[in-house]
Amino acid sequence: MARSYDSTKRILVTGGAGFVGSHLIDYLLGQGHDVLCVDNLFTGSKRNIAHLHNHPRLEFLRHDVCFPLYVEVDEIYNMACPASPVHYQYDPVQTTKTSVHGAINMLGLAKRLKARILQASTSEVYGDPSVHPQTEDYWGNVNPIGIRSCYDEGKRCAETLFFDYHRQHGVEIKVARIFNTYGPRMHPSDGRVVSNFIVQALAGEPITIYGNGAQTRSFCYVEDLVRGLVALMESPAEVTGPVNLGNPVEFTIRQLAEQVLELTNSKSELIELPLPQDDPRQRQPNITQAKTKLGWEPKFPLAQGLPATIEYFAALMNK
């Protein structure tokens, strides 16, 4: 059974050395909790948690969630999974295993401990949406056999498992559907549009836009996302989700490229490449549920979050 000796909780974060996971750990430690960071370092990096070296309330365990884990914790944030197309398409079978076997193993742990568990799901469950903006009751438009399916369908299956463990075993679950997130500690070669554009602009290389750049995304700064994840975890038990977490302000890819060029003072030119298979044309969250049930909405506009992200990449590239 999960312990509850005092207000300090022992919290497991899988994928804790990743981009979002490491920021989540910063926040949880700042709240005074003990944190167990679990990561197999496939896409995560110890560099992301290096500033926490020797922190008395952080423990690191190198482990793959595809295998069972036997620890004692009060809460579980299941963040483990490659999240960028470059990384999840590198080993698609392993990506599906991480989503599905990882969910089974973490849900089994939560069931044994009677611990609350949060699943980091994704806006990719909506596929290339025919509904805009996307609400949580939209079932999606997903290709089950495409090159992105390992991630899209893996996350959809993980959501199924979470709700079945909730209905069948009474596990306390939270499901967050995370939309495009950016900020310091993004992997420089993860192929995501924000990191791609910044790295290319800083290096003076051509900025590669897929298609004509008219496709849209909404970009949420990582600090805002972390607040949303914690608000969902701490919400009443009946708030299971799924809950969209993202910034509803929509930009075209070309507008993002132009902002990056302006903020970096780069002379890089924009070049157009063919659009990848199953690339969504539109992506924008409806966050009504997050506002009403969690009292959450993002605070950082793109113009405020981009400079901090650029500063991080500039420092990284100058090392």
Domain boundaries along the sequence of the chain: 10-182+220-248+282-300
Tell me the one-letter amino acid at 162. Answer: F
Mean of the per-residue pLDDT values of the chain: 93
Record the pTM: 0.93
> Is the pLDDT assigned to residue 27 strictly greater than 50?
yes
- The string over 253-282, giving b where at least 16 C-beta atoms fall within 10 Å of a residue's C-beta and e elsewhere, is bbebbbebbebbebebeeeeeeeeebebeb
106-115, 186-195, 214-223: which has the highest mean pLDDT?
106-115
CB atoms within 10 A of CB 19: 26
User: Nearest to residue 199, comparing CAs of 316, 62, 38, 42?
Assistant: 316
- Active-site residue list: 151
Q: Is the bond into 92 cis (omega within 30 degrees of 0)?
A: no
**292, exposed or middle or buried, with CB in 10 Å at 0-12, 13-18, 19+?**
exposed
Give the Å distances, CA to CA, from 207 to 198, 210, 260, 272, 275. 9, 10, 10, 8, 14
Per-residue pLDDT reduced to its tens digit, 85-117: 777 787 899 999 999 999 999 999 999 999 999
> Is the pLDDT assigned to residue 126 strictly greater than 50?
yes
Side-chain half-sphere exposure of 277, counting CA atoms within 13 A:
10
Name the superfamily (CATH) of residues 10-182+220-248+282-300: NAD(P)-binding Rossmann-like Domain (3.40.50.720)
Per-residue pLDDT reduced to its tens digit, 238-252: 999 999 999 999 999
pLDDT of residue 233: 98
Q: In whole angstroms, give the CA distance from residue 26 to residue 247.
A: 21
Q: How confident is the model at residue 190 (pLDDT cuts 50, 70, 90)?
A: confident
The answer to whether residues 70 and 47 touch, using CB atoms and an 8 Å cutoff, is: no
Q: Which residues contact 43 (CB under 8 A, 6 or more apart)?
A: 18, 82, 83, 84, 87, 187, 190
pLDDT of residue 208: 92
Tell me the one-letter amino acid at 36. Answer: L
Cα angle 51, 53, 59; round to 5: 120
Q: In whole angstroms, give the CA distance from residue 283 to residue 180.
A: 9
Per-residue pLDDT reduced to its tens digit, 30-61: 999 999 999 999 999 999 999 999 999 999 99
Q: How many helices (H) and strands (E) does the chain have?
A: 9, 13
